[in-house]
Amino acid sequence: MKIQAKLFVAVTSALTSLVHSDPLRPGVRVPPRSYSRCTNTLPCLTVINTAECRPQPSCDPEAKYRTIDGSCSNLEHPSWGQAGTPFTRLLPAHYEDGKSQLRQSVTGRPLPNERLLSTTFFPDRNVPDTVNTLNVILWGQLIAHDFSHIQFPRPGSPSCCTQDNQLPPPESESPGCYPMEIHPNDYFYSQFNVTCLGIYRAFPVDSGTCHASPIEQINNLTHVIDASMVYGSDLKTAYRLRSFIDGKLIVQTTPDGRNFPPNTDKPFFPCNNDASEHTCYDAGDDRVNQNSGLTVLQIALLRLHNYLCDKLMVINPQWNDETLYHESRRILDAFINHVLYKHLLPIMLGEQYMHEKGLLVDNCCTCCINYHNPDINPSTITEFAGAAYRTFHSLIPRVIALVSSDYEAESFVRFDDTYFKPSFLQNAGVVDKCMRGFANQPQQTQDHFFTQAVTNLLFKFNKPWGFDLETLDLHRSLDLGLPTYNDMRQHCGLTRAKQFSDFVDVMSEESIKKLESTYVSVEDVHLYLGGVLEELIPDTLVGPTFQCIIGQQFYQYMRGDRFYYENCGLPWSFTRDQLNEIYKMSVAWMFCVTGDDIQTIQYETFQKPSKKNPIGSCNQILAPDFSPWKE
């Protein structure tokens, strides 16, 4: 198959696609049946009702450890948060026919072309953040790969466009395709005579009776924040990654002793290696090789798991492989949640909002609080995964800096040159240079400017052009049946707009004029576009509507998941002393203990070094004491 066809399929899969089904849990995965040849409608025969085919999990109420597939995260609702279950919604699904047809304008005509929207509203402009580092967006993506992976056709499926990247005739369209028309005068694609970008629709699942209810989409990952990108969301994946020796995960080791994830000869997404390169990593999430920033963090988490095994084995030599694996996984899970809720989300949502929402509680050395509410569903919200959280694509830079031990940028790698090319990371010193770069290079400012690395060159492989992530982000609003921007802003407490000028409460005059010249009605505006165009709330990375959606999601993750790391006084809880040690953990500490030779770094790696956040010795970075785990 030609590389263009592989590109089209990989793009629509790589950001939000399926993981391997779990043969030990039948019914998890939607069978890949054919769609109708009508690209906007999905016939009833293509969907299944998971409530009918999936038995409720049986839970041990005293179990200390999470299940791999996320089941039993809520004892009263055992399937909430489980891999292979549908996303939830804040508002009802919005399809043109009430079932599956892509939404159209209130006039009954098609909505504006998403590529046209992308080029109109999302130009490329280099505006570095003055405070926050590249580590913010990279950790943001890492966390995204813990909670969302929508099922699409796998790479290798027929392309949605012709082999020469033109629109196919209607009678030859591949099932489930949405061929995106590109204008012949497109400022970028016209250079290459590309008039079609192929987008696949997500595999649907029936939300109720087959002929009456709108379709939903399946999450192939666990919904809860549980480090599934490291360990997997099904037993087959989890077992494949384990060494079954001293609790550790499998690694490949270089001649000089550096550890990396194991290679796979059957990657879900093919790596873009040169003929002499054979590196293509395996991990709990099959997007591990997507870009070098993400890959380095996955390498660090793998190394951290094995580091934890070593620490626990010293103080508990009687522990067997199974105990060491689960205890290390449990600590790594807590570490990720700690970084997320105490360090990352306050930057994204604002500390004041976090406190008001009950998402940020000051560390208490003696308190014992159980935050769990069994009536709250910790499953991932479609409006969150399909729109609000994707706004942070604006933070992606054009290049990644490789920074030396004296904190000078030695070289730069173009972001679009790192897609599915992990081989160079195994060169001596590169992982450390990346880590220092993540903690020092500014991310882009959160705005409506997006680098061409994602708007024109996404997953370009060896061609001079690639896909447009923002076209895909906009199209997801329709494919997933998301509400309109006007519906969602009203849900989040803003006044419903009757005319475009009513958006002035959250948007600039320039943005409003562009919307008015592009859309027929305020009722047509895509949720994603409206949210991105909102002016940021001070000291946050979001406007009011996306703050509302993202805040609600992480509230549900925190309160609906009984294994949330700060829950106290339960059979599976950490002790007070153990929790106090987890509070000492930081990304800086992780870089120090998992880098090859990281000697210095600043404590808060999400913010640039400064007088208040100076670069110092790793020996001065607060580190946990594991003696509270001694039995």
Which residues are part of a known binding site? 393
Please check whether residue 585 is in contact with residue 332, taking contact to mean a CB–CB distance below 8 angstroms.
Answer: no
Q: How many CB atoms lie within 10 A of CB 196?
A: 20
* Neighbouring-strand partners of residue 86: 218
DSSP H helical segments within 446-508, as ranges? 452-455, 469-479, 485-491
DSSP H helical segments within 534-586, as ranges? 544-560, 576-582
Q: How many CB atoms lie within 10 A of CB 256?
A: 7
Using a CB cutoff of 8 Å and minimum separation of 24, what contacts does 298-301 make? 298/142, 298/229, 298/230, 298/261, 299/260, 299/261, 299/425, 299/431, 299/594, 300/431, 300/435, 300/590, 300/591, 300/594, 300/595, 301/227, 301/229, 301/230, 301/332, 301/336, 301/590
Q: Which of 77, 145, 223, 343 is catalytic?
A: 145
Please check whether residue 501 is in contact with residue 515, taking contact to mean a CB–CB distance below 8 angstroms.
Answer: no
| Binding residue numbers for heme b | 393
Please check whether residue 297 is in contact with residue 138, taking contact to mean a CB–CB distance below 8 angstroms.
Answer: yes
Catalytic site includes residue 145: yes
What span, in angstroms and rounded, lies between the C-alpha atoms of 606 and 615?
13
Q: What is the DSSP string of 10-51?
A: HHHHHTT------TTSTTSSPP-PPPPSSTT---GGG---HH
What span, in angstroms and rounded, lies between the C-alpha atoms of 405 and 19?
38
Please list, in sequence order, all residues whose beta carbon lies within 8 angstroms of the beta carbon of residue 304, skipping any fewer than 6 positions away. Answer: 332, 335, 590, 593, 594
Please check whether residue 377 is in contact with residue 560, taking contact to mean a CB–CB distance below 8 angstroms.
Answer: yes
DSSP state of 423: G
Which positions are annotated as active-site residues? 145
